[in-house]
Amino acid sequence: MATEKHEAWWAKEAQDRIMAMRNVKLAIAFVGLNVLDAVLTVAAMSKGELYELNPIMRKLLEQPGWMFWGFKIVAAIACASLLLLLAAKYPRQIKRILIILVAAMLGVCLVNTIGLL
């Protein structure tokens, strides 16, 4: 009886760790895609091919370059970090949110890439 409980605990622990690693990978992908989005946006705007739709980022692009890059990267890391903190309590829900965010950023990067072609 005790070994069955012990094995069940280990199985649950392993499952929780796998879920946590998936969430970390998704959070890293989210931050990486935000950096790629920034690179593609700056490149497309320098060619005059693209217009920034986000009014906050548009205003930051008018400022010195470090403000745009700093805000973009810090905001992405802060968002990912907050989600990872919440994932300790709600791992499955946060995984779904991270998947949606990664998919959205992939779409944004795709639009920016098409704008460069």
22: helix, strand or coil: helix
Return the percentage of the chain with pLDDT > 70, whole number.
87
pLDDT of residue 58 exceeding 90: no
Q: What would the mean pLDDT of 96-103 be, rounded to a whole number?
A: 97
What are the pLDDT digits (tens) for 23-33?
999 999 999 99
More confident residue, 5 or 73: 73
Give the residue among 37, 26, 117, 16 at the shortest CA–CA distance from 80: 26
Please tell me the predicted confidence (pLDDT) of residue 95.
Answer: 95
Please tell me the predicted confidence (pLDDT) of residue 78.
Answer: 97
Give the position of tokens 């548009």.
58
d(CA 63, CA 4): 62
Give the residue among 40, 30, 27, 26 at the shortest CA–CA distance from 111: 40
Give the residue among 19, 44, 64, 14 at the shortest CA–CA distance from 6: 14
pLDDT level of residue 84 (50, 70, 90 thresholds): very high
